[in-house]
Chains A and B, each alone.
Chain A
């Protein structure tokens, strides 16, 4: 079920996490590259196809997907 707790994480990172963090900084996720990605994804955001469960959604029924839109486009004559 949805966990909506606002508590800060209680688990401390394992000691080897330091190596991992150093590694992640060194491979190019940091520095200029990630700055650019940061600027980008703030604007873009993820695809928003997933969400935390709040209420049972009706999963049946009509959905206008890319496939369906593509069909409509092709059927337009």
Chain B
């Protein structure tokens, strides 16, 4: 990711949203290694629901180590033939990988001027990838931030299957560290949904054309 342009003012609330997306993206794409796991172990929270979930994540991080987390991640998302969780929009919305939701996402990514970084071959409709894109849309990585574009991207690509995904992760047999991660994801997605609803008079914005 490119750094945020220094002269661009991002509101505090939007920075926090970006940080939650970045957190979900980071943890869903690969298991947290030493430094990141140490940071997770330092997490505390206030008495809000999300604060409690963050505190639970901190506690889970303190109770595990990098090797155990990697084993958990592999059991959850990689597996021998497949993991317990298949975190792709196409799979959740159609039952198969590489389906129409991926095609529609690729059209929208092309319109936004976003593509996979070299070295990544997973389909783009991975939830972690979607979170990273939304994070970049908030921070202005791909152009001036536009809340209407964020709402369109959220409504179209994230919201329809986020609840089902996080419910599955929370219930997955191997989930330990990822149970509070899924709680955070579920709560944060609900917050985003409510917040976008409050900005209800946003122009119905198609994603920009290339």
Contacts and interface: CB of A to CB of B under 8 A. Distances in A.
B interface residue count range (under 10 / 10 to 19 / 20 to 34 / 35 or more): 35 or more
A49 B21 contact: no
Nearest to B133: A50
A75 interface: no
A51 B131 CA distance: 13
A46 B115 contact: no
A65 B45 contact: no
B36 A24 contact: no
Contacts of B132: 46-50
Contact of A47 (B35, B78, B115, B129): B129
Given A16-B200, A23-B195, A51 B19 contact: no
Interface in A34-50: 34, 36-41, 43-50
Contacts of A23: 194-195, 198
A40 B9 CA distance: 21
Contacts of B17: 24, 29
Contact of B48 (A20, A33, A53, A65): A33
B82 to A, nearest CB: 10
Contact of A40 (B40, B124, B188): B40
A63 to B, nearest CB: 4
Contacts of A15: 201
Nearest to A25: B13
8 A-B pairs with the lowest CB-CB distances in the bound complex, closest first: A28-B48, A3-B143, A47-B29, A28-B50, A24-B13, A46-B22, A63-B121, A20-B198
